[in-house]
């Protein structure tokens, strides 16, 4: 199971993974560690301890990098976000970042936050300690989950997309908050669908005159579709 499959499976659901203290925010993280990364989480303390006691947890150290919050930091999709006592309770909080956000606020999927079901929440950085980022990103991916979105059109075959006379920014998310690249004037791409009026395209990344890679993301411009 990858990140998208996990969110699609558990979003809107309530569960007590470890059978301890009822439905808690750490139950979401434990389920995530187990289902996506194949790990067996133990009794690892309160939410804040995932960050504060990271150096004493060999499983977390082996599979995740601990990254501290800074004024310029924005959580990446799939990051395990951790808040400390500065959030307003002695236990802290944990959630899973969507990759959408900026240095003022960001989004994550949370359990036991204003309710006992998994849901998408916008957070500020109050009490935010930082994140645990998977060393193996193959289970995360860069595409954004689209939740029950009726304003969505998928093409059976890719359509030709051609940029106009100015640079077109490419974003990892349909809300166009996380820029991942640029398509230059008159550049071409394959368009695979439309979500909320944004165009999902796959385009070439060049090194000199040679195609070095391919990237996929959302753009505003319709490219003649």
Note the pLDDT tens digit of each residue in 104-124.
999 999 999 999 999 999 999
Same domain, yes or no, for 134 and 157? no
Same domain, yes or no, for 97 and 58? yes
Note the pLDDT tens digit of each residue in 139-176.
887 554 545 555 666 666 789 999 999 999 999 998 89
Q: State how many domains the chain has.
A: 2
Which strands sit side by side in the sheet containing 119-123, from one edge to the other? 64-68, 128-134, 80-83, 93-101, 106-110, 119-123
CATH code of residue 73: 3.90.1720.10
Note the pLDDT tens digit of each residue in 182-210.
999 999 999 989 988 899 999 998 888 88
| Cα separation, 34 vs 140, whole angstroms | 14
Length of the chain: 225
The residue from 106, 139, 172 where one domain ends is 139
Same domain, yes or no, for 86 and 107? yes
Cβ–Cβ < 8 Å for 129, 82 = yes
Q: Does residue 61 lie in a domain region?
A: yes
Q: Of 221, 53, 61, 35, nearest to 43 (Cα)? A: 53
Domain that holds residue 158: 152-219
pLDDT at 156: 65
Same domain, yes or no, for 111 and 161? no
Same domain, yes or no, for 50 and 107? yes
In this prediction, what percent of the chain has a pLDDT beyond 70?
Answer: 93
């Amino acid at each position: 199971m990858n990140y998208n499959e996990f969110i699609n499976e558990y979003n809107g659901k309530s569960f007590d993974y470890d059978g301890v203290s009822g439905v808690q925010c750490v139950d979401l993280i434990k389920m995530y560690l187990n289902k996506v990364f194949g790990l067996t989480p133990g009794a690892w303390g309160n939410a804040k301890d995932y960050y504060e006691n990271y150096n004493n947890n060999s499983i977390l150290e082996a599979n995740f990098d601990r990254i501290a919050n800074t004024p310029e930091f924005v959580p990446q999709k799939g990051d395990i976000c951790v808040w400390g006592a500065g959030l307003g309770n002695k236990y802290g909080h944990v959630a899973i970042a969507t990759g959408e956000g900026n240095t003022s606020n960001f989004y994550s999927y949370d359990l036991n936050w204003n309710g006992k079901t998994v849901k998408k929440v916008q957070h500020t950085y109050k009490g935010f300690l930082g994140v645990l980022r998977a060393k193996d990103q193959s289970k995360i991916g860069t595409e954004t989950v689209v939740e029950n979105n009726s304003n969505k059109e998928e093409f059976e075959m890719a359509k030709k997309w051609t940029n106009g006379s100015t640079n077109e920014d490419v974003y990892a998310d349909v809300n166009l908050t996380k820029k991942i690249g640029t398509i230059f004037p008159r550049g071409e791409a394959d368009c695979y669908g439309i979500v909320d009026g944004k165009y999902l395209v796959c385009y070439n990344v060049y090194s000199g005159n040679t195609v070095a890679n391919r990237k996929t993301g959302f753009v505003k411009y319709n490219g003649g579709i």
